[in-house]
């Protein structure tokens, strides 16, 4: 704050490291002067690389959105590759926008976007002690002021969610030595929480994740995770799909050839859909397999 000539409350801090070890603050304080001198309008890529820890690649994403007679931009950088599980994970995310947006709307939009992005990813089921999402607006765009309950507010919230979701998916794909990116889609739940609990149970099951690593379309492991989720379930109504192929119908095996299902689960990206057939609620989670290399790395 002293170097920039601003108030302390205008400086926000994000950190991560080894749990239980004191932050080696001298590594930062000794370099503040040179960091301030190096500030530039095109420094985002350097910042994205600087915050990497076990990440294998920097993560950044940005979009421009029309609003009124002008437009606004939303962009962000993030880091995260392990201990990824809501709320929010071992991650740092810094979002900037030039939108003119009311403080109350910015807060609501941020909370909504986080819930639909960083709170829907899991790599290893471990929630961290360190996680941060910071959204900063400078109001420099030529778009009108974004107020709550307006079309521009809806567009802003959608843009912010889109940017965060893209960064969140990059984290999952860059999970520590994982080999599969899997989207879990739960349909037909009685309530939102039922859908959420089922999706998270499947996504965090070690047995399920191991079967994915081996390319094994073992729907039995999926339905067993559905069964112990804290949700209302009727086994005889559950349908399970790998990709678009039905592996389980009404809680029983289908005639879909295993070889066809294996063609799905051997891909680096695929979808597992669980239809509970009890209601209208849905929930999505983005997750990974569990590899020997992940265990070795950790």
- How far is the C-alpha of 114 from the C-alpha of 88, rounded, in Å? 8
The phi, psi pair for 125, rounded to 5°, reads: 75, 5
Strand 269-275 to 181-189 pairing = parallel
In the chain the beta strands, taken as DSSP E runs, fall at 59-67, 70-79, 91-97, 131-137, 181-189, 239-242, 245-249, 252-253, 269-275, 281-288
**CB burial readout 27-43, b (16+ within 10 A) else e:** eeeeeeeeeeeeeeeee
Residue that the structure tokens 């899991």 belong to = 122
DSSP 143: S
Catalytic residue among 16, 90, 97, 122: 90
SS3 of residue 76 by DSSP: strand
90 as an active site residue: the answer is yes
Provide Rg for the chain, Cα atoms. Answer: 21
Q: How many CB atoms are located within 10 Å of the residue 277 CB?
A: 14
Catalytic positions are 90
């Amino acid at each position: 704050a002293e170097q920039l000539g601003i108030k302390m409350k205008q400086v926000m801090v994000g950190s991560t490291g080894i749990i239980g070890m004191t932050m080696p603050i001298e590594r930062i304080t000794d370099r503040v002067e040179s960091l301030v001198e190096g500030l530039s309008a095109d420094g985002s890529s350097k910042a994205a690389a600087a915050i990497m820890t076990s990440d294998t690649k920097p993560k950044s994403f940005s979009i421009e959105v029309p609003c009124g007679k002008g437009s606004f931009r939303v962009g962000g950088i993030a880091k995260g590759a392990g201990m990824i599980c809501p709320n929010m994970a071992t991650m740092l995310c810094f979002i900037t926008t030039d939108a003119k947006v009311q403080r109350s709307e910015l807060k609501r939009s941020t909370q909504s976007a986080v819930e639909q992005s960083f709170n829907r990813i899991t790599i290893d089921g471990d929630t961290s002690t360190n996680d941060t999402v910071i959204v900063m607006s400078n109001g420099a765009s030529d778009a009108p002021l974004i107020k709550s309950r307006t079309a521009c507010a809806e567009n802003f919230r959608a843009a912010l969610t889109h940017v965060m979701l893209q960064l969140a998916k990059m984290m999952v794909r860059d999970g520590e030595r994982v080999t599969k990116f899997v989207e879990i889609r739960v349909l037909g739940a009685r309530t939102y929480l039922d859908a959420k609990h089922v999706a998270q149970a499947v996504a965090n099951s070690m047995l399920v994740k191991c079967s994915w690593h081996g390319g094994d379309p073992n729907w039995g492991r999926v339905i067993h995770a559905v069964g112990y989720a804290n949700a209302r379930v009727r086994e005889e109504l559950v349908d399970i799909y790998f990709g678009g192929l039905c592996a389980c119908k009404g809680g029983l095996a289908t005639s879909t050839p295993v070889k066809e299902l294996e063609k799905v689960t051997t891909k680096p990206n695929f979808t597992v859909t669980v239809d509970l057939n009890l209601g209208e609620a849905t929930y999505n989670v983005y997750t990974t397999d569990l590899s020997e290399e992940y265990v070795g790395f950790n």
